[in-house]
Amino acid sequence: MVYSVPLIIFMDDVSGNISKQWNKHHAIYMSNANLPREMLEKEFFVQFVSSSPHALPMELMQAMRESISDAAQSGVIAWDCKYNEEIMLIPYVLFLAGDNPMQAEECSHAGLNCNYFCRTCEAGGTKEYKESEAGYNTIFMFETAFKSGATTKIQNSVSLTGVRDSSSALILTLTENEVEVALQKEFEELLKGGQLNDIINPLLGTDGLDIHMDTPTEILHTILLGVVKYFWGQTVFLLEKVKFLHIFQCRLESIDKDGLNTPCLNADYICHYKGSLIGKHFKSLAQVMPFIIHDLVPPTVLNAWTVIGELVVLVWHTKITDMEAYLACLIPLRDRQYCLEPSKIS
């Protein structure tokens, strides 16, 4: 019997020290996507692959890719203890998990600060265009080519297109003259006796993997520590401006918490340390804010919190049993975001 084994690959930078002193290491972990979710979350089923304080992330990924490719070609022989027979396992990469900066590097993308900030679609444009009504709408609706030139041209290209390949940055810094006159000589020196595949991003040619589509959005930093965090900051600014923060704190303390997945909102802590909140605080606040601030803030801000509350509930589904019904709830929510003024989004 032959079984396919989909793998979830996770890479991030971690500290190699137990103390608070930061000692940066890049580490890769792997999980079997065939396991039920309740098993995937257990430490026993998360397998350590590699770690290094010196190797670049793409160098670690290249070694991982080669190992999986070799295993897929020859197969992994194992024993099935349930059916008492020898089986063959064929591993393949299902998707790569990680935070936004790491996934951007895996995709050769410049990250969220560039004009075209999305690694999976062509959403974006100049700052002026994104702040316009037409540009703002296109963000929710759904060729780049490398050209030889000076470093300034490449930096401008990264800012404009969002494409950056850290593995081949050295090659891209050659001037047009060097490319035309001594391309072969310079190229061989850069390769240092290696192959072209050792220089470019190894994930771009992985069989069965579309690196731009198979890096799912990490919702903690994108939603809670992104949109929700910045709307919280704007809302607190408005409440303090009109001296309503004490009213907000009283309502937050007295609101019914039976429907929430949290024992206590701790209003005193949230209002005192309003600039240092973490994900669990924002997840709870997103669900109760419309009921607390309905007469304390402008209608546009209230409407934004209503949309955010519905969005948080939808994106934290651990299992979608009916995709059509799920999309039927999600699409109207996306359309309602058009009524928000671009200047209200920070």
**pLDDT tens by residue, the chain, 346 residues:** 999 999 999 998 888 777 767 788 899 999 999 998 888 888 899 999 999 999 888 889 989 999 999 999 999 999 999 889 999 999 999 999 988 888 888 888 888 778 888 888 777 888 888 878 777 766 654 333 234 444 565 566 566 666 565 545 555 555 566 556 666 777 777 777 777 766 778 888 788 888 888 888 888 888 888 889 999 999 999 999 999 999 999 999 888 877 776 656 888 999 999 999 988 899 889 989 999 999 999 988 898 899 888 888 888 887 888 888 888 887 777 666 544 444 443 3
75: left (phi over 0), alpha (psi -120 to 50) or beta: left
What is the Cα 124 distance to its own chain's centre?
17
φ/ψ of 140, rounded to 5, equals: -95, -5
Sheet strand arrangement including 2-15: 47-52, 24-32, 2-15, 85-97, 76-80
β-bridge mates for residue 37, sequence order? none
Angle, vertex CA 107, rays to CA 104 and CA 109, nearest 5: 55
Please state, in angstroms and rounded to a whole number, the distance separating the CA atoms of residues 38 and 48.
19
Q: At a CB cut-off of 8 Å and minimum separation 6, what does 240 contact?
A: none
Residue 129 and residue 250 in contact, taking contact as beta carbons nearer than 8 Å: no
**Would you put residue 243 in left (φ > 0), alpha (ψ -120 to 50) or beta?**
left
Q: Please enumerate in sequence order all residues whose Cβ is within 8 A of that of 134, keeping only pairs 6 or more positions apart, or say none.
A: none
pLDDT given for residue 343 in this prediction: 44
Cα 174 from chain centroid (whole Å): 31
Say how far apart CA 174 and CA 184 lie, in whole Å: 12
Distance from C-alpha of 289 to C-alpha of 306, rounded to nearest angstrom:
8
Q: How is residue 106 written in tokens?
A: 């895996």
* Of residues 271, 221, 225, the one with CA closest to residue 250: 271
For 140, the 3-state DSSP assignment is: helix
pLDDT at 38: 85
Specify the amino acid at residue 8. Answer: I
Alpha helices by DSSP H, the chain = 37-40, 57-74, 100-106, 127-131, 133-141, 151-161, 169-172, 176-191, 219, 229-241, 245-254, 267-272, 279-292, 299-315, 323-336
Q: Is the dihedral of CA 17, 96, 203, 208 positive or negative?
A: positive
What pTM was estimated for this model as a whole? 0.68
In angstroms, rounded to a whole number, what is the distance separating the alpha carbons of residues 7 and 76? 14
| C-alpha span between 223 and 283 (Å, rounded) | 9
